[in-house]
Structure 1
Amino acid sequence: MITAESKLRVAVKTLQSARKKLHADFPEWNFTLDGKLIGDIGEAYAKAHFSLVKIDSNSKAHDFKAPDGRLVQVKITQKKTLGLGISAPTFDYFIALCLSENGDFQVVYNGKGSRVYKRKGHPPKKSISVIKLKELNKQVDKSETIPSKQNTK
């Protein structure tokens, strides 16, 4: 059986291949996959990887509800930094993803949102480095994470 995650990987590889071809033919432009498309890819992965339910699309603070009722915001990047899209603390739980060019997804943070936007010595910012997210993720107790489907079997 082909999983949703596998389908996403194949689709991302196809998109990346098309992006590279466009850039080779038109080197003045990068044809970067970003914005709404990459955000939708991240949310689709999160829904498939974690047992999440999409909530009202008008909600700016949260994208999903976990099976236990926790509200979750999902963000994704292909770069060294991740845009949080906040000017004030807003999300209860936060899952940050990093997408490689070959279509592999990495969960770089999975825990309470407050750890990200209330990090010591830093007021809320609109972005955070992937390295810092990985450091913060090491502080997350397993009981705080949103469990992946693999961890719930």
Structure 2
Amino acid sequence: MDHDRFRTLIKRLYATVKELEEMFPGRHFTPDGHMVGSIGECLVADAYDLELKTASNKGYDAVTKAGLEIEIKATQSNTVAFRGKPLHTIVIKILPDGTFEEIYNGPGKYVWDQFEGKPLPSNGQYQISLTKLRVLNQSVAQSDRVPRVI
């Protein structure tokens, strides 16, 4: 894959969003839904040198060269949702310029433990704030993180 071209295209997409919002004040053109998920998965796969699995793969989105299964969560808001306990998860916030901030990179157990004792919401997804994930991320040992290569 051409890493530079990929990053340029993502930045161009977000620049276009900004221009449209400036052209039509009060209107929002922010990418959402599947598009944000796919962008996030590709950003993470590229930055961490992961092999993406097919879209909507059950339980994980990518694997490391060593075979570790990674659930990738991307958002532009302040929360993410989980349906199940991932082996490992990387959560990012996509920034307005098309880059991203790593919010959490560690064992999924630490995230899933936050839902212990809570009833499953009617939509089948537990929500967790990025603020809480940032705090959890501070307790993840470096050896339990997937290293970023780009």
> Which category of TM-score, normalised to the shorter sequence, fits these structures?
0.7 to 0.9
Closer, same or farther: CA 58–101 of 1 in aligned 2, 3 Å: closer
In structure 2, what is the equivalent of residue 100 of structure 1?
95
| CA distance in structure 1 between the partners assigned to 2:16 and 2:44 by the alignment | 24
Select 1:13's aligned residue among 7, 11, 23: 11
CA distance in 2, matches of 1:37, 1:55: 16
RMSD: 2.4
Contact (CA 8 Å) 2:40, 2:72: kept in 1 or not? Answer: yes
The CA deviation at 1:142 is: 1.0
Cα deviation digits, residues 39-94 of structure 1 (max 9, x gap): 11111111111121122435221011111211110011111222x241xx331100
Aligned residue pairs, count: 145
TM-score by length of 2: 0.82
Partner of 1:73: 71
Alignment-derived partner of residue 57 in structure 1:
55
CA contact (8 A) 2:76 2:93 kept: yes
Structure 2: which amino acid aligns with 1:61? G
Residue in 1 that maps onto 2:107: 112
Listed as ranges, the matches of 1:115-126 within 5 Å are 115-119=110-114, 123=118, 126=126
What is the match of residue 35 of structure 1? 33
Q: CA deviation at 1:120?
A: 7.3
Q: Deviations over 1:85-141 (max 9, x none)?
A: 41xx33110000111112221111000111111127663752211111110001101
- Cα pair distance change 1:29/1:144, threshold 3 Å: same
Distance 1:108 1:31, change over 3 A: same
Structure 1 runs not aligned, ≥5 long? none
TM-score normalised by structure 1 residue count = 0.81
**Does the aligned pair in 2 maintain the 1:9–1:102 contact within 8 Å?**
no
1:97 match: secondary structure: strand
